[in-house]
Protein backbone atom coordinates (compact mmCIF):
# COMPACT_ATOMS: atom_id res chain seq x y z
CA UNK A 1 0.00 0.00 0.00
CA UNK A 2 2.70 2.52 0.98
CA UNK A 3 4.81 1.98 -2.19
CA UNK A 4 1.69 2.48 -4.34
CA UNK A 5 0.84 5.79 -2.64
CA UNK A 6 4.44 7.04 -2.84
CA UNK A 7 4.72 6.10 -6.52
CA UNK A 8 1.42 7.84 -7.29
CA UNK A 9 2.55 10.94 -5.41
CA UNK A 10 5.82 11.18 -7.30
CA UNK A 11 4.14 10.68 -10.68
CA UNK A 12 1.60 13.49 -10.27
CA UNK A 13 2.26 17.05 -11.55
CA UNK A 14 3.29 19.61 -8.94
CA UNK A 15 0.81 22.32 -9.98
CA UNK A 16 -2.41 22.40 -12.02
CA UNK A 17 -2.33 24.43 -15.23
CA UNK A 18 -4.30 27.17 -13.45
CA UNK A 19 -3.74 26.90 -9.66
CA UNK A 20 -6.58 29.32 -8.86
CA UNK A 21 -9.34 27.93 -11.08
CA UNK A 22 -8.19 24.30 -11.22
CA UNK A 23 -6.89 23.61 -7.73
CA UNK A 24 -7.17 19.97 -6.72
CA UNK A 25 -8.83 20.59 -3.33
CA UNK A 26 -11.71 22.65 -1.98
CA UNK A 27 -11.07 25.63 0.28
CA UNK A 28 -12.71 23.86 3.25
CA UNK A 29 -13.73 20.24 3.73
CA UNK A 30 -15.30 17.99 6.33
CA UNK A 31 -13.51 14.67 5.90
CA UNK A 32 -15.07 11.56 7.50
CA UNK A 33 -13.08 8.31 7.54
CA UNK A 34 -13.47 4.81 8.91
CA UNK A 35 -11.03 1.93 8.93
CA UNK A 36 -8.95 -0.29 11.15
CA UNK A 37 -5.91 0.27 13.35
CA UNK A 38 -3.12 -2.28 13.61
CA UNK A 39 -2.17 -4.29 16.66
CA UNK A 40 0.54 -2.76 18.86
CA UNK A 41 2.73 -4.49 21.44
CA UNK A 42 -0.13 -4.53 23.98
CA UNK A 43 -3.31 -3.35 22.26
CA UNK A 44 -5.27 -5.44 19.77
CA UNK A 45 -6.35 -4.26 16.34
CA UNK A 46 -9.65 -2.43 16.29
CA UNK A 47 -12.01 -0.16 14.36
CA UNK A 48 -11.39 3.58 14.01
CA UNK A 49 -13.63 6.51 13.18
CA UNK A 50 -12.33 10.00 12.43
CA UNK A 51 -13.77 13.44 11.72
CA UNK A 52 -11.40 15.94 10.09
CA UNK A 53 -11.71 19.63 9.31
CA UNK A 54 -9.49 20.82 6.45
CA UNK A 55 -8.58 24.31 5.33
CA UNK A 56 -6.57 25.14 2.22
CA UNK A 57 -3.79 27.49 3.37
CA UNK A 58 -2.30 28.03 -0.06
CA UNK A 59 -1.49 25.63 -2.85
CA UNK A 60 -0.01 23.09 -2.13
CA UNK A 61 -0.52 23.11 1.69
CA UNK A 62 -3.57 22.11 3.75
CA UNK A 63 -4.12 22.67 7.48
CA UNK A 64 -6.13 19.93 9.18
CA UNK A 65 -7.47 19.12 12.64
CA UNK A 66 -8.71 15.61 13.42
CA UNK A 67 -10.67 13.86 16.15
CA UNK A 68 -10.10 10.07 16.24
CA UNK A 69 -11.83 7.26 18.10
CA UNK A 70 -10.21 3.81 18.24
CA UNK A 71 -11.44 0.76 20.14
CA UNK A 72 -9.12 -2.06 21.20
CA UNK A 73 -8.45 -4.70 23.85
CA UNK A 74 -5.41 -5.05 26.10
CA UNK A 75 -4.16 -8.58 26.54
CA UNK A 76 -0.92 -8.70 28.52
CA UNK A 77 0.59 -10.57 31.45
CA UNK A 78 2.18 -7.39 32.76
CA UNK A 79 -0.87 -5.10 32.61
CA UNK A 80 -4.56 -5.49 33.45
CA UNK A 81 -6.82 -6.89 30.77
CA UNK A 82 -9.63 -4.71 29.50
CA UNK A 83 -11.16 -2.64 26.74
CA UNK A 84 -9.53 0.62 25.78
CA UNK A 85 -11.47 3.45 24.17
CA UNK A 86 -8.87 5.82 22.70
CA UNK A 87 -9.56 9.41 21.71
CA UNK A 88 -6.98 11.63 20.06
CA UNK A 89 -6.94 15.19 18.80
CA UNK A 90 -4.35 16.07 16.17
CA UNK A 91 -3.15 19.04 14.16
CA UNK A 92 -1.56 18.26 10.80
CA UNK A 93 -0.12 20.01 7.76
CA UNK A 94 -0.54 18.25 4.41
CA UNK A 95 1.49 18.71 1.24
CA UNK A 96 -0.40 17.63 -1.89
CA UNK A 97 -0.03 17.42 -5.63
CA UNK A 98 -2.23 16.08 -8.36
CA UNK A 99 -5.04 16.81 -10.78
CA UNK A 100 -8.81 17.15 -10.59
CA UNK A 101 -9.33 13.41 -11.05
CA UNK A 102 -6.81 12.27 -8.45
CA UNK A 103 -4.26 13.62 -6.01
CA UNK A 104 -1.83 12.31 -3.41
CA UNK A 105 -0.57 13.90 -0.21
CA UNK A 106 1.92 13.57 2.62
CA UNK A 107 1.41 14.93 6.12
CA UNK A 108 3.00 15.47 9.51
CA UNK A 109 1.25 16.36 12.75
CA UNK A 110 1.14 16.51 16.55
CA UNK A 111 -1.24 14.21 18.44
CA UNK A 112 -2.76 14.55 21.91
CA UNK A 113 -4.23 11.23 23.05
CA UNK A 114 -6.22 10.02 26.02
CA UNK A 115 -8.53 7.12 26.70
CA UNK A 116 -11.08 5.36 28.89
CA UNK A 117 -10.13 1.96 30.25
CA UNK A 118 -12.73 -0.69 31.19
CA UNK A 119 -11.11 -3.30 33.44
CA UNK A 120 -12.11 -6.91 32.69
CA UNK A 121 -10.16 -8.59 35.51
CA UNK A 122 -11.04 -7.03 38.87
CA UNK A 123 -8.76 -9.42 40.79
CA UNK A 124 -5.64 -8.54 38.82
CA UNK A 125 -3.91 -7.09 41.90
CA UNK A 126 -5.54 -9.31 44.52
CA UNK A 127 -2.16 -10.57 45.70
CA UNK A 128 -0.39 -7.20 45.49
CA UNK A 129 1.20 -6.16 48.78
CA UNK A 130 0.30 -2.53 48.11
CA UNK A 131 -3.36 -3.32 48.06
CA UNK A 132 -6.09 -3.76 45.49
CA UNK A 133 -6.41 -0.79 43.12
CA UNK A 134 -9.46 1.37 43.71
CA UNK A 135 -9.26 2.91 40.27
CA UNK A 136 -7.29 2.51 37.04
CA UNK A 137 -7.05 5.31 34.50
CA UNK A 138 -5.46 5.72 31.12
CA UNK A 139 -3.06 8.67 31.08
CA UNK A 140 -3.03 11.33 28.37
CA UNK A 141 0.10 12.31 26.45
CA UNK A 142 1.44 13.89 23.26
CA UNK A 143 2.83 12.09 20.21
CA UNK A 144 3.35 12.63 16.53
CA UNK A 145 1.84 11.33 13.31
CA UNK A 146 2.94 10.66 9.74
CA UNK A 147 0.43 10.05 6.97
CA UNK A 148 0.10 9.36 3.26
CA UNK A 149 -3.05 9.34 1.22
CA UNK A 150 -4.77 9.54 -2.14
CA UNK A 151 -8.02 11.19 -3.24
CA UNK A 152 -10.28 10.70 -6.21
CA UNK A 153 -12.79 13.13 -7.74
CA UNK A 154 -12.57 15.47 -4.70
CA UNK A 155 -14.77 13.05 -2.70
CA UNK A 156 -13.16 9.71 -1.97
CA UNK A 157 -9.96 9.00 -0.07
CA UNK A 158 -7.70 6.22 1.09
CA UNK A 159 -5.18 7.00 3.82
CA UNK A 160 -2.38 5.28 5.74
CA UNK A 161 -1.42 6.82 9.09
CA UNK A 162 1.46 6.00 11.44
CA UNK A 163 1.12 7.27 15.01
CA UNK A 164 3.88 7.24 17.62
CA UNK A 165 2.59 7.73 21.17
CA UNK A 166 3.45 6.42 24.67
CA UNK A 167 0.62 6.85 27.21
CA UNK A 168 0.50 5.35 30.72
CA UNK A 169 -1.69 3.41 33.09
CA UNK A 170 -2.34 5.23 36.37
CA UNK A 171 -3.11 3.02 39.37
CA UNK A 172 -4.79 4.43 42.48
CA UNK A 173 -4.49 2.01 45.42
CA UNK A 174 -5.81 1.96 48.98
CA UNK A 175 -2.82 1.14 51.20
CA UNK A 176 -4.85 1.22 54.42
CA UNK A 177 -5.39 3.78 57.22
CA UNK A 178 -7.02 6.16 54.75
CA UNK A 179 -3.79 6.34 52.71
CA UNK A 180 -3.63 6.07 48.95
CA UNK A 181 -0.81 5.66 46.45
CA UNK A 182 -0.58 6.56 42.77
CA UNK A 183 1.63 4.74 40.28
CA UNK A 184 2.24 5.33 36.57
CA UNK A 185 3.44 2.75 34.04
CA UNK A 186 4.21 4.06 30.55
CA UNK A 187 4.01 1.82 27.50
CA UNK A 188 4.23 2.17 23.73
CA UNK A 189 0.89 2.27 21.94
CA UNK A 190 2.16 2.96 18.40
CA UNK A 191 -0.12 1.88 15.60
CA UNK A 192 -0.75 2.03 11.88
CA UNK A 193 -4.25 2.60 10.54
CA UNK A 194 -5.71 2.24 7.08
CA UNK A 195 -8.92 4.13 6.38
CA UNK A 196 -11.37 4.99 3.63
CA UNK A 197 -13.07 8.36 3.60
CA UNK A 198 -15.59 10.71 2.07
CA UNK A 199 -15.22 14.50 1.83
CA UNK A 200 -18.06 17.01 2.23
CA UNK A 201 -17.38 20.40 0.66
CA UNK A 202 -17.88 23.28 3.10
CA UNK A 203 -16.57 26.02 0.83
Closest CA to 68 of 107, 32, 106, 104: 32
CB 82 within 8 A of CB 71: no
User: What would the pLDDT profile of 24-42 be if each residue is shown by its tens digit?
Assistant: 778 899 999 999 888 777 7
Count of CB atoms situated within 10 Å of the CB of 123: 8
Domains annotated on the chain, with CATH: 2-201 (2.40.160.20)
Percent of the chain with pLDDT over 70: 70
Tell me the pLDDT tens digit for each residue of 43-52: 778 899 999 9
Query: Could you give the C-alpha distances from 69 to 1, 34, 49, in angstroms and in order?
Result: 23, 10, 5
Confidence class for position 129, pLDDT limits 50, 70, 90: very low
Query: Is it the case that residue 64 has pLDDT exceeding 90?
Result: yes
What is the rounded CA–CA span in Å between residue 65 and residue 93? 9
Q: What is the mean pLDDT of the chain?
A: 77
Give me the torsion for CA of 50, 30, 140, 188, rounded to 10°.
50
pLDDT above 80 (res 22): no
For residue 163, give the nearest of 110, 117, 114 by alpha carbon: 110
Range 134-150 average pLDDT: 82
Higher model confidence: residue 171 or residue 102?
A: 102
The closest alpha carbon to 168, from 113, 93, 119, 121, belongs to: 113
Q: What is the predicted pLDDT for the residue at 71?
A: 85
- Residue 61, pLDDT > 80, answer yes
Amino acid sequence: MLPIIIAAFLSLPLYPLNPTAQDTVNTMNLHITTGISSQSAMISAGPEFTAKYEYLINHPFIFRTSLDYINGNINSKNYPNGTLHRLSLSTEVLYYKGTKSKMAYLGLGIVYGRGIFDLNDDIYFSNDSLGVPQDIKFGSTFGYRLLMGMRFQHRYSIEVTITEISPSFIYFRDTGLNAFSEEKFSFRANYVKVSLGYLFKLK
